[in-house]
Chain A
Amino acid sequence: MHLDPFELHRPTTVDETVRLAGALAGRFDFLAGGTDLLPNYKMHLNLKPHLVALEDVDELRGFSADRLGAMARLADLERDPAFAATWPSVADAVGEVATPLVRASGTVGGNLLLETRCFFFNQSYFWRASLGFCLKADGDRCHVVPQKEVCYATHSGDLAPALMVVDAEVEVAGPAGRRRLPLADLYDAKGDGVRRLTLAPGELLVAVHLPRAARGRRGRYKKLRVRPAYDFPELGVAVAGRWTGDRVEELRIAVGGAEPRPRRFDTLTDALVGRTLDDARLRELAEAIGKSVRPVHNTFLLPDYRRRMVAVYVRRAVAEAREGTAG
């Protein structure tokens, strides 16, 4: 497998990046850490002739307790104990991404926009050709759930659920200027594994904003995977909340790694505000979330097992978050 040549662009400002994106419309990908994109390119997955590298765009770099630049490196976040104390669910998730080597290159934006994954997609050109291509690359049907409309590729980032439970917003720049939207809305509720984002063509993720109001929530991110390193999530559960004694003041739960997009379960959790979350009620909540999550057979572990684990992981994540120290 080899990397086909591409033209590399290195803009230094957001405006220049947006202009370039407009000029190269449909013929480029943004290059952040490259830890996922370049392996995919080697497999000839949706190759583009141009790459717009974001590394030199100053505004995208760095992070604070309120703002994560899209190009903030996961390894840098990981090394900041103050950040971890303020945003425990996010710190958990950062530490669970892949390996230290990947985190040294990997970025916040890259993880949020990570390409969805599937056994039938993340394969070499030869492999895919031998089977007949799929909806997500070069083909017109899905092999997971055989039909020709919907792609079931799985959202596989760790950061999204962890940031969604602290009500993070994302700042986006595009031809029409800048806008801010809840992170949860970045993922298209009507979409699928291919049409997965609500970004308009040429739009660029600039930063993640962490609202002050969410500071002090206790949080936890728990990840199911075969090995405690390397692997993408087979399931990721994030929790953040506030309790007074046993009484729930705020509670957010998000699940990733199981469906084409990460999801929050506000209806279920809002119903608990002001109430005591005893073991029975927690179990009920966890079962309800477990019932609504529907993984398919496109990752290593079987979908029945992943689904069953949703309830267990939710229950444990909530219990551990509640026991954890507030930021």
Chain B
Amino acid sequence: MASGPSRPLRLLGTKIPYVEGPLKVTGRAEYTDDIHRPGELVGRLLRSPWPHARLRSIDVAAARATPGVFAVLTGEKYPTPFGVLPITHDETALAVGKVRYIGDIVAAVAARDERTAEEALAKIRIDVEPLADYPDPQTGLSKVAEPIHARGLNGTNVQKEVVQHFGDVDAAFARAARTVRVRGSFVGVTHAFTEPLVTLAEATPDGRLTVWSATQVPHYLHRSLSEVLGIPMHRIRVIKPEVGGGFGGKSDPLPHEIVCAALAVETGRPVRMLLDREDVFFTNHGRHPTQNDVRIALDADGRILAYDIEAVIDGGAWSSFGTVTTYYNGVLAMGPYTVPNFRYRGRRVYTTKPPSGAMRAHGGTNIRYSVEVALDRLAEETGVDPFDLRARNALPPHSLTVNQFRITSTSFLKCLAVARERSGWDSKFRRLPFGRGVGLGCGFYISGSNSPIHFTPKMPQSTVHLKVDMDGGIAVHSMQADIGQGSNTLLAAIVAEVLGVDLERVHVQRVDSDVSPIDIGSYSSRVTFMMGNAAREAAEELRGKIVAGAAALLGVPAEGLEVGHERIHPVGRPDAGVPFLDALHRAMESTGALQATGAYRSPTLGGTFKGARAGTAPAYTFSAYVAEVDVDVETGEYRVEKIWAAFDCGRVLNRLAVEGQVEGSIHMGLGQLMGESMNYRASRLFNPSLLEYKVPAPQQMPEVEILLVGDDDPEGPFGAKEAGEGPLIATLPAVGNALYDAVGCRFLELPITPDRVLKGLDLRAKEGRRWKGA
């Protein structure tokens, strides 16, 4: 496997502007909705107004008879269940037999225009038997009259229960010097990506189906389309144009994508399905509303003895990634610390609400908040500085956790040291005036899930193909999904770095299942690590061929040559070499255009117990953030003034992209902390709009000081690890703990809105507790 670089890097490590940037900022980049096909129809969805109901009959005759309507679909036509995880296929393209939330898709229409489609939908008559709805996961833990899914455990709405125990937690608590318990409560939040969900599908007379879609997972979409529509994969072509953000909200194959393709098949015409924002909110798959209960035991030396964790997470109507989420809420709680005894019980419960799923820092965010608040309390109660407590418990590099996660590189101690120093922690903590405070939060995240979802780890998770012809332009094919995070740029930069050529020679091709070798997509923070290694391998193979051409031209053995800037030359003698193009053309004499391929396979990781693979990753990232806040103690409003973000993502490959990810992650984390909330009353979502769903305004962003301190990872491409999700996690507890330092109140319900801050202050006043002189 690739290790450190053999010569200084030329391009990687600098700030590399996105290769598609000029197209995006001038409006020329092609997103799904920019693509037009002749004779297009408009697809529209009819959603359930009932939270839970049995479908008795659906009368579509009048809709079908409406002039300009080409097809009307209901669930019976394509009832094959699907879902992102093969073990939990419980989703259907359209409702079959039952509807399970307000917004569940009941019928779909393809018509000549939007108005006709909506007119037709209005004519559909649905006869239902309303059923009891279950908005509260707590209710669903016991037997219910009408389980939302038949697969609920023993007549309950529990979709997945995880019970794990390593070591002896009870014994550890019995001998603990100090214990703490924190119960956190978290509402659901959603991705709020910019580009709404959109799909275009066309069935052509050659028997093929082409689907363009705003997706993070073209390959999973490809599989699901094939399964549900009953068309072999080789007759389906999935194209991923530019995507305007995903954050996990486009990482499932989604029902509207399948419905759109089905309508194209039914009509033989291209069908466009552009969802509006309310549709996007109903599709959701956002972060699970969560109740967690964390107990931590410390010994007399301030070492963590044990974690005992329970979590109940609200899955909404479908499974989505939920089985993974259920595991993650436990297993991702341990790192960045050594936890010798660990017990976890997690339950994911179906409710009659829009489905929860994966969202940036999936499964690692809510539990992290509670753990870090608990550690903050333990530090206070034992009279130890929060930094010292964490440093004392840091996971060592090249170690195994109690649940057999293989830890390789970690620069967590460096993160702690630099965050402490840069933030001026020692002069601020508990020393700022009442209303002002600093807090520390730390984080830990996977750098790519080690398990490909649909096949064994023997198959590559990522494959990259290169092709170069006489023009000297290098075409790069891979199904890696750039969703705005910069993976196209990284792919091009790695190829350019290895070959020594200018970035402009490298052309990353649009994802197209006809030509792109499989990479399983942009989720689980896997792309840089896995695609990066595949790209490097492919580029090295290509370099070998071109260097052989140079060797032939120069009449010297290839072993004595190295790649310089657009040249291949004897080691240390740039003047004696040949231009890249000359070497390329010589190399092409025997085969014509050159090709090369590279692939990344996961290592064998994890234990053999049930669920052992959940959370295993070829590397992990670490973080330590300090936040400084200023609270208006009369209104409860507060401002996060600054965040010092120390992050270990291994070697930084594109500084511009990494810094963007850290800033964006902090913005998203602050959103969940300060005001974002899927507001439900019973099963009804009250704020399905970007006006009432409170993504923070730019003015709410604090100053961010980014401190990238990672050492090279032994297996990451050029030493790199992920930077897409890990940077979010520490944001929330850093601010939560800073609020405590500011006003002496613990906030365990998110979001921390001003009224909750006031409630905390009221409670403190009532208890007569004084804080920093107030």
Residues of chain A at the chain B interface (Cβ within 8 Å) = 1-2, 4, 119, 122-124, 126-127, 129-131, 224, 226-231, 300-302, 304-305, 308-309, 312
Contacts and interface: CB of A to CB of B under 8 A. Distances in A.
Given A2-B118, A127-B688, A228 B753 contact: no
Contacts of B688: 123-124, 127
B49 A300 contact: no
Contacts, number: 62
Contacts of A312: 634-635
Contacts of B679: 300
A52 B687 CA distance: 31
B49 A305 contact: no
B698 interface: yes
A1 B114 CA distance: 9
A274 to B, nearest CB: 29
B244 interface: no
Contacts of A226: 675, 694, 753
Chief secondary structure at chain B's binding surface = loop
Interface in B265-293: 276, 278
Given A126-B47, A127-B688, A312-B635, A227 B675 contact: yes
Contact of A129 (B49, B699, B755): B49
A229 B118 contact: no
A231 B696 CA distance: 11
A229 B694 contact: no
Contacts of A224: 635
Given A2-B114, A127-B688, A131-B684, A227 B694 contact: yes
Interface of B: 47, 49-50, 102, 114-115, 118, 276, 278, 634-636, 675, 679, 684, 686-688, 691-692, 694, 696-700, 753-755, 758
A317 to B, nearest CB: 13
A301 B102 CA distance: 24
8 contacts: A122-B692, A126-B278, A130-B102, A227-B675, A227-B696, A229-B698, A300-B692, A300-B694
A309 B118 CA distance: 44
B102 A305 contact: no
A168 B461 CA distance: 69
Given A2-B115, A119-B686, 9 more contacts: A4-B115, A124-B278, A131-B684, A227-B699, A228-B697, A230-B691, A304-B755, A305-B754, A305-B755
Contacts of B698: 229
A227 B697 contact: yes
Contacts of B50: 130
A254 to B, nearest CB: 20
A171 B121 CA distance: 46
A129 B691 CA distance: 21
The 10 A-B residue pairs with the shortest CB-CB distance in the complex, in nearest-first order: A130-B49, A305-B755, A229-B697, A227-B697, A228-B699, A226-B694, A2-B114, A1-B276, A226-B675, A124-B278
A309 B757 CA distance: 13
A227 B115 CA distance: 35
A229 B114 CA distance: 32
B440 to A, nearest CB: 27
B235 to A, nearest CB: 34
A89 B755 CA distance: 26
Contacts of B634: 312
Contacts of A131: 684
A1 B278 contact: yes
Given A2-B118, A131-B684, A308-B758, A231 B691 contact: yes
A290 to B, nearest CB: 13
